[in-house]
Amino acid sequence: MDSDKAVVIFQPSGRRGEVPKGINLIEASRLLGVDIEALCGEKKVCGKCIVRVEEGHFEKYGITSSMSHVSEWLEEEEKFINPERREKGFRLGCVAKVQGDVLIFVPEESRAGKQVVSKAARDIHIDHDPAVKLYYVQLDAPTFEEPTADFERICRGLERDYGLRNLTIDIVALRTLPVALREGDWKVTVSVWNDREIIRIRPGKAEHAYGLAIDVGTTTVAAYFCDLTTMEVVDTVSMMNPQCKYGEDVMARITFHMTTPDGLKRMSDDIIEGLNDLIKQALANTYPPKKKVKKKKGEDGPDEFVEAPVEGKTYLRLTNEDIEDITIGLNTAMHHILLGLNP
């Protein structure tokens, strides 16, 4: 073997290969297609890249691995690895450089691409006062004697029954108003935002409205899909923040914006696309899973899928329109980047 190279084997993935001596274990893992968390971008400050250097001769792999086959321990590692673990061969992957053959074990918590987020929503007491509320109204149909226009008619009904005044209406809702009123035979459910703006009209009596509370973190994004009428968290979906590819922390993102002409737009577009994907995922979860239909012998053509509902489970079958409100929480940098403001 070339003496400038060493064999590195990663466990549990079993990936192995020769890498140039002198590169660190994170770099080696990239060369060999192993994903290890390196949140701080190898700056030795996050402690996410902990791996274990195995000691001994491994007949099965034909190598002798030793803690002495990686570069010396550095002070920075002390913050993340206590003496007991150090003794066992634990190191920061971004510190330990390959100097000879090594077998490396990547613990579960250091594996990138593991379960992305486990930010389950906690139950805390909050008063039920959603921005979007539902109001059911029954109106009289217009006549030649009383030909008031639809919008004025619905406003009158909402003022009479609920005391709502000076309402405006969203243009998208306005487009659906005439049909909804007639389809519902003048009985409709109106979604009103902050008791100020009509945002949706549904024929008949609707019982539920849904919304999303989204936490855009620098690393992970979690969306809590909530029933606004019962305050129940129906589902939680999450993903890595797609901006991670530009750098793992806030400073790296800001630097990317400062050094790349269209950097801000790219990051903004990415998070918007990511949020749309999360919404799609949350909605898809309200339908039964699908399974492929088995083809008959000799039959070709495209695969067909049918719904395979889980027994006893009810599915809400919601669409984009059913999400009536979204609240997004984020730090200042994430906020600016999302909105395309100079961070």
Summarize as ranges the residues that interact with ligand FES (CB under 6 A).
38-40, 42, 44-49, 92-94
Residue 94: CB minimum distance to ligand FES, A: 3
Nearer to ligand FES, 40 or 222 (CB): 40
User: DSSP 3-state assignment of 119?
Assistant: coil
d(CA 63, CA 103): 8
Residue 95: CB minimum distance to ligand FES, A: 7
Nearer to ligand FES, 101 or 248 (CB): 248
**DSSP characters for 184-203?**
TTTEEEEEEETTTEEEEEEE
Burial class (CB in 10 A: 0-12, 13-18, 19+), 114: exposed
d(CA 209, CA 18): 57
Whole-number Cα distances in Å, 20 to 4, 74, 182: 6, 21, 74
Residue that the structure tokens 């770099």 belong to: 27
Residues in the chain: 343
Nearer to ligand FES, 74 or 179 (CB): 74
State which amino acid sits at residue 106.
V
d(CA 276, CA 270): 10
d(CA 135, CA 292): 42
Residue 26: CB minimum distance to ligand FES, A: 6
Nearer to ligand FES, 41 or 242 (CB): 41
Residue 267: CB minimum distance to ligand FES, A: 21
Tell me 79's DSSP state: G
Nearer to ligand FES, 81 or 181 (CB): 81
Whole-number Cα distances in Å, 33 to 108, 117, 255: 16, 22, 27
Nearer to ligand FES, 42 or 227 (CB): 42
Residue 36: CB minimum distance to ligand FES, A: 8
Residue 97: CB minimum distance to ligand FES, A: 13
Residue 13: CB minimum distance to ligand FES, A: 18
Nearer to ligand FES, 61 or 73 (CB): 73
Residue 247: CB minimum distance to ligand FES, A: 12
Q: Which two tokens stand for residue 64?
A: 């002798």
Residue 22: CB minimum distance to ligand FES, A: 17
Residue that the structure tokens 């073997």 belong to: 1
Whether the bond between 12 and the residue before it is cis, its omega within 30 degrees of 0, is: yes
8 Å CB contact between 288 and 315: yes
Nearer to ligand FES, 245 or 265 (CB): 245
Tell me 41's DSSP state: S
d(CA 137, CA 124): 33
Nearer to ligand FES, 109 or 152 (CB): 109
